[in-house]
Amino acid sequence: MPAHTQSPLKTYQDHLERGELAYQFSPAANRAVFYPRVLCPFTGSDRLEWRVSAGNGTVYATTVVHPPEGAPFNVALIDCDEGFRLMSRVEDVPPNDVKIGMRVRFRVHRPGGEEPPMPVFVPEHER
């Protein structure tokens, strides 16, 4: 990778800082690529384009985590409408109310401190 090229992770995080959910697209494979990387996992091509998701998706799978301390929370796999899946969580609803097939919308969670922003989702009807 040339010295002047920014890492895919840094590009992804910069988009999150701006409130955008970015992903890569492989023209060679004609499909979305996520998590950000240097080479297409389907073709090995280094030709990957950055695109910004509209932020809509569907819960593919979900579970509730019950930590020894603190409140329970959900962990969900979200299928974004652009064709990629990511692990996240659904906020603004009780963890047990997150259901497979639920339509969700992206937003940025900013934990603060040294932690980078992360993508989370809310039910589509929430704004």
pLDDT band at 127 (very low <50, low <70, confident <90, very high): low
What mean pLDDT comes out for the span 22-40? 97
Per-residue tokens: 30: 């004609």
Instruction: Beginning with the edge strand found earlier in the chain, give each strand of the sheet holding 22-26 in spatial order.
Output: 31-33, 22-26, 49-52
pLDDT band at 2 (very low <50, low <70, confident <90, very high): very low
In 3D, which of 37, 38, 34 has the Cα closest to residue 52? 34
What mean pLDDT comes out for the span 96-117? 93
In 3D, which of 32, 87, 31 has the Cα closest to residue 23? 32
Domain annotation for the chain: domains and CATH numbers = 8-123 (2.40.50.840)
Give the pLDDT score at 1.
Answer: 42
Q: Give the global pTM.
A: 0.88
